A and B are shown apart, each in its own frame.
Chain A
């Protein structure tokens, strides 16, 4: 147990050292807190093209760190957030943006989920309507309804008797626990 504890402490130490190391590599100094905020926002929102499923901020790829340096330099040079995003898109295309822009090319992307949802609602509604169409009670005349309830009570009366008779005739069945109808 003690050994494990020591090992864990050692590991914790190691990872701590790594964090310090990483911080040293990326020790960007900013003139204003605003710049730092934009830096973190942008490096989290821009895609690293080499690794593709990481943002520039999470990637250790060479290009990602180059782009971090680039963003930092542009911020210090007084560039705005929009200017930096435009700079990236001009070079790497919309693909660098994790948040795709809203334009005719991407309409399907933005509206697609809603379209799919609307199609689903439409489809379910149709199925439900088709199933309801089997219930024709609403279309019966008063006379028909009366006749139907008469038939029903007749059937119930018959059923009750018939059931008893059947039970008497066929005891084997009721032994099996089946209630004949």
Chain B
């Protein structure tokens, strides 16, 4: 009996050790995107939550200061080439730094919006970059990836979520 209790504890703790405490499930999944209106990066005009509707979209939160964003850049570019619409949310960054980053590594985004003070990031529950939201045609958040998409686990979870939705790649 004590041995069994001990074994059970070991199993529980072992599971606990393999979990990543940084992965906090987002309460936003399954809900409509938060309302926002942000200026385009280095351009005239704005982009709002209304513009997210109508197509399956990835919203990728990134910044030039974010090392992991650099790691996932190639994966994001590939996803963009495959026909997925990807919106970049430039999080707490400087316009010039962001532009230089895109110039240097290439711009995979259909649109880049600027959240200079991170205020919109708070509404999206962003607590670090990169974070990626999968949004369906009706503007409902279907999935959230925390951390770089180049990570196999993250990539697979995104792919699974995309495949569950019709009309992602058109």
A146 within 8 A of B: no
| Neighbour of A90 across the interface among B25, B27, B118, B128, CB < 8 A | B27
B127 touches A70 (CB 8 A): no
Which of B2-25 touch A at CB < 8 Å? 21-22, 24-25
Interface residues of B (CB under 8 A from A): 1, 21-22, 24-28, 92, 117-119, 122-125, 127-128
Check: A160 CB closer than 8 A to any chain B CB. Answer: no
Which A-chain residue is minimally distant from B123 (CB atoms)? Answer: A91
A92 / chain B contacts, CB cutoff of 8 Å: 24, 27, 125, 127
A152 CB-CB contact with B under 8 Å: no
Contact partner of A49 among B27, B123, B127, CB < 8 A?
Answer: B127
Are B27 and A52 within 8 A (Cβ)? no
Q: Knowing A49-B127, A50-B127, A63-B127 are in contact, say whether A93-B24 is a contact too (CB < 8 A).
A: yes
Contact B28 A66 (CB under 8 A): no
Q: Which of B26, B119, B125 has the most CB of A within 10 A?
A: B125
Given contacts A92-B125, A92-B127, contact A62 B118 (CB under 8 A): yes
Band of interface residues on A: 10 to 19
Report the nearest A residue to B27, measured CB to CB. A93
Q: Which of A50, A62, A91, A94 contacts B125 (CB 8 A)?
A: A91
A18 to chain B, nearest CB (A): 24
- Which residues of chain A come closer than 8 Å to B27, judged between CB atoms? 89-94
Q: In the complex, which residue of chain A has the Cβ closest to the Cβ of B117?
A: A66
Q: State the main secondary structure of chain A at its contact with B.
A: helix
- Complex interface: chain A residues within 8 A of B124 (CB): 91
Q: Chain A nearest CB: distance from B3 CB in Å?
A: 13
- In the complex, whether A38 has a CB less than 8 A from a CB of chain B is no
Which of B26, B118, B124 neighbours the largest number of chain A CB atoms within 10 Å of its CB?
Answer: B118
CB-nearest residue of chain B to A93: B27
**Contacts A52-B22, A93-B25, A93-B27; A67 near B122 (Cβ below 8 A):** yes
- With A49-B24, A90-B27 as contacts: A66 and B122 at CB distance below 8 Å: yes
B118 partner residues in chain A, CB cutoff 8 A = 62-63, 66
CA distance A62 to B1 in the complex (A): 50
Chain A residues whose C-beta falls within 8 Å of the C-beta of B26 in the assembled complex: 93
